[in-house]
Structure 1
Amino acid sequence: MERQLRAARLATVAYFVLNGFLLGMWIVHIPSVEQRVGIGHATLGWLLLLLGAGAFAGMQAVGPLADRFGARKVVPLSAALCSAMVALPGLAGNVWSLGAALLALGVGNGCLDVSMNAHAVQVEHAYGRPVMSAFHATFSVGGVLAALLGARTLSWGWSPAATLLTVAALGLVVSALAAPALLPSGREPAAGSAQAAPSPGRRTPRHIWMLAALALMIMLCEGVANDWSTLHLRRVLDAPPATAALAYGAFATAMTVGRLLADRVAGRFGPVAVLRYGASAAAVGLTAAALSDRVPVALVGWAVFGVGLSGCVPQLFSAAGHADRDAAGANVSRVAGLGYLGMLAGPAVIGPLTGLVPLNVTFFLPVAFCAVAACTAGILRPRPGASALVEADAM
C-alpha cells in the first residue's frame, strides 16, 4: 500500500509539472506567435481573455465529472486534452484561428487544473498529512523547465509550430505513462450497499463559496505581483530594467520555496495558522515594498509577499476538497474557478486605479485583501462531517 501511495504521489507530481510545462511553453512562444499571426499587443490582450474564459469553463465542467467518474479516469484525459491543445496556437495563421486555439487551450488547462487538484486531495487524504503545497510548488518547476527548453529551441531556430507539436507529443506520452499509478476514487459502494454517486445537481455549500471568495482575493494578490512588481521598481523607484526584473524573480522564487516548506508548517501548526500568519506576512511585505523608496527594501518586500502567499491557496484547495470527498471535484472547481478569475482581475483592477493614485498606493488594495484573509482564516477549521486530515497517535 505504501508503494502504491508513493507511486500515486509521484504521478500527481508528474501532472502538476506537466501543467506548468505546457503553459510555460505557450508563454515562451507568445512573442513568436504574435509576430506570426501579425497582431499587436492590444489584440493579444483581448485574445488572452479567451484563454481565461476557456479555463474557467473547463474548471466548472470537469469538477462534477471527476466526482462522477473518478479523478483516475479524468486526470489523464484532461492532461491529454491540454497537451493536444497546446499545439494549436503554434498552428494558428490568423486572429480568428488563434482565438479559437486559445479558447481550446484554456479549456484543456482548466480541466487539468481542477482534476489534478482533486486527485491531490485524494493523495493527501491517504497520507493523512498535508502534501498539497508541494504539488503546487512542482507546477512552478514545470514553468522553469519550459523557460529553459523554450529558450533553447528558439535559439535553434525552431518554429512555434514545430516546438509546440513536439511538446504536445511529449505531453501525451507523460499523460499515458503516469495514469496507471493514480489512485482509484475510493467511492465505489460495497456489494449490497445503497450508496450512490453524488448528484450532479447538488447545491454548493455556502462554506465552499466563502473559500472561493478568499481564493479570489489571494490569487488577485498573486496576479498583482505577476503583472506589476517589475513595473513598480521600474516606474516608481526608477530601477534599471535588469534590476526591476528581480522583483518578480524574488516573488516567484520565494513563493516556490515557501510552498516546498508549507506542508511541514501546516502539519505542525495547522492550515489556519498557515493562512492567518502567511496572509499577515504578505500584507507586511507588500506594505514595505509600497512604502519604501529604496530598491533593496522593495525587493525584500516582494520576497516576503511571495513567502506569505505561498501556502495560502493550497490550504484553500485542500479544505474545499476535504469538505466533502464525494464532491471534491465540484468543490475544488468552485474555489479554483473564482481564484482564477481573481488572478485575471489583478491587471484589470490595478490598471484603472493608477489613473487616480500612484502605482504603489494601489497596492494597499491587495494589502487589504491579505488582511481579510488573515482575519477569516478560521474558516479552514474542520467542519462536522468533513474528512479532515488527522495525525496518527504516537505509538
Structure 2
Amino acid sequence: MRPQTAPPRAARIATWTYFGLNGFAVGMWVVHIPNIEHATGITHSTLGLLLLVLGGAAFAGMQVAGPLVDRLGQRRLVPAAGVLLGLALFGPGFAQTWWSLGLTLIALGFANGSIDVGMNAQAVVVERGYPRPIMAAFHAMWSIGGAFAALIGAATLRAGVPTPVTLGAAGVICVVVSLAVSRFLIEATAEEHEEQEDRAKPPAKLVWALGGLAFGLMLAEGVANDWAALQFRDILGTSVSTAAYAYGAFAVAMTVGRFLTDRVAAVVGPAAIVRYGAAMAAIGLTIVIVVPWVPVSLFGWALFGLGLAGGVPQLFTAAGNLDPRAAGALMARVVGLGYVGLLAGPALVGGLAHWMPLNFAFILPVVLCVLTFLGAPVLRSRSSVRS
C-alpha cells in the first residue's frame, strides 16, 4: 500500500463534469428522437436499425479509444472525445434522410463510446488518490446529466424551439465545457506503473469474467430502460401516464443507490456490492413478474434499480486496476461487453415476448442476475483489487 497523498479534488470535479456532460448529451439526443424521426420521414423499423448502427459505432469507439488512452493518456483523449461528441450532436438535428441520419449517428456513437471509456479510465485514476471508493458517484452524475437533458429538452420542445437549434446549443456546451475542464485531468503516476512491474499480467479469463458480469448487469438495466413502462401498460393495464412511473421508480432508485454505493463499498467491499446487489435486483424483478398490483410492482422496479446501482461501477474499477499500463484497453473490453448487453437486452426480451407474456420474458434478466450473484466472488481475486 503506497502512502496517501492529498486527494485530487479538482480532477474528481472535472471527471464528475465529464460524466454529467455525457449523460446530458445522450439525453438531449434521446428526447429529440421523435422529432428527428418525423423530420427524416423514417419508419419505426428503420429507426430501430439506425439505433443498432449507433450502438455498433459506440462499441467501435470503445475499442479504438481503449488503446489510445494507454498511448496518449486521458488528458488528451477525454477532452478530444468530448469535443467530438459536441460536434457530432449537431448532426441529427440537420438530417433530412435516413442515410444522412445514419452517417450522423455513426459519428455520435463513435464519440460516445470513446468518451465512455476515457472518462471511466480517468475515474479509476482519480479514485486511486482517495482512501475510499468513489466510482459509483461518477456514474450517478451521468444519470443526473440525463435528468437535466430531459427537463431542458421538454422545456424547449414545449416552447417550439427547432431541434437543430437545441441540439446545436447542447453541442456547443459540450465543446466549451470539455475544453474548459480538461486542464484538471490527471494521469497515472510513474509510481503506479512501477508498482505494476512487480505484478503478474492479469489472466485473460479474469478480464472476460469481469466483462461477462458487466454484460449480465447492463443487459438487465437495458431491459428496465425499454420495457418497464410497457410492462405497466400492457400487463397491468395502466394508463400511459401511470406507466411512466415504472421507469421513474427504477431510475430514481438507481441514481440514489449510486450515490450511496461508495460508502457501503468502503465497508463491505466490491464483491459484496456486486453479489448482494444482483440478489436484490433478482428479487425485485421477480416481484414485478409475479405480483400484478401497481404499488407492489413499483416497489419491485425500485428494488431492481437499487440492486443494479452499484455493480457496474465496481466492475469498471476492477478492470481499470488490473494493469495501469493497459487500463484503457482492458476497460474497453469490459465496458464494451457491458454495452453489448445494454443493447441486446431489450431486443432479446422483445423476441421472447412474441412467445410468452412480457412479464415472463423478464425471467431472462432474473437468471443473469442470479448468475452474477454466483460469479461475483471473482472480484476477490488478488488481481482485481487495488494495491
TM-score by length of 2: 0.94
CA distance in 1, matches of 2:33, 2:354: 28
Tell me the equivalent position of 1:105.
108
Tell me the equivalent position of 2:99.
96
Q: Percent identity?
A: 51
CA distance in 2, matches of 1:325, 1:387: 12
The amino acid across from 2:136 in the alignment is S
CA distance in 2, matches of 1:273, 1:4: 25
Tell me the equivalent position of 1:312.
311
Tell me the equivalent position of 2:298.
299
CA distance in 2, matches of 1:162, 1:204: 49
Tell me the equivalent position of 2:166.
163
Shift of 1:80: 0.7
Tell me the equivalent position of 1:38.
41
CA distance in 2, matches of 1:223, 1:11: 27
Instruction: Please say if 1:376 is aligned against 2:375.
Output: yes
Tell me the equivalent position of 1:219.
218
Instruction: Please say if 1:79 is aligned against 2:82.
Output: yes
The CA RMSD measured in Å over matched residues stands at 1.9
Cα pair 1:71 1:185 within 8 Å, conserved: no
Tell me the equivalent position of 2:134.
131
CA distance in 2, matches of 1:326, 1:72: 15
Moved more, 180-189 or 290-299: 180-189
**How many residues are matched?**
380
What are structure 1's unaligned runs of at least 5 residues? 197-201, 390-395
Q: Select 2:17's aligned residue among 3, 14, 17.
A: 14
What are structure 2's unaligned runs of at least 5 residues? none
Change (3 A) 1:262 1:189: closer
The amino acid across from 1:388 in the alignment is R
Shift of 1:147: 0.9
Shift of 1:204: 7.4
Cα pair 2:379 2:385 within 8 Å, conserved: no
Tell me the equivalent position of 2:343.
344
Tell me the equivalent position of 1:232.
231
Alignment of 1:172-211 (within 5 A): 172-187=175-190, 205-211=204-210
Tell me the equivalent position of 1:274.
273
SS in 1 for 2:160: coil
SS in 1 for 2:8: helix
CA distance in 2, matches of 1:180, 1:282: 39
CA distance in 1, matches of 2:347, 2:282: 21
Change (3 A) 1:293 1:387: closer
Shift of 1:105: 0.2
Shift of 1:382: 4.0
Cα pair 2:122 2:187 within 8 Å, conserved: no
Shift of 1:59: 0.3
TM-score by length of 1: 0.92
The amino acid across from 1:96 in the alignment is W
Shift of 1:189: 10
CA distance in 2, matches of 1:73, 1:365: 40
Tell me the equivalent position of 2:117.
114
Deviations 1:124-173 (A, max 9, x none): 11113210100000000000111111112222222111111111111111
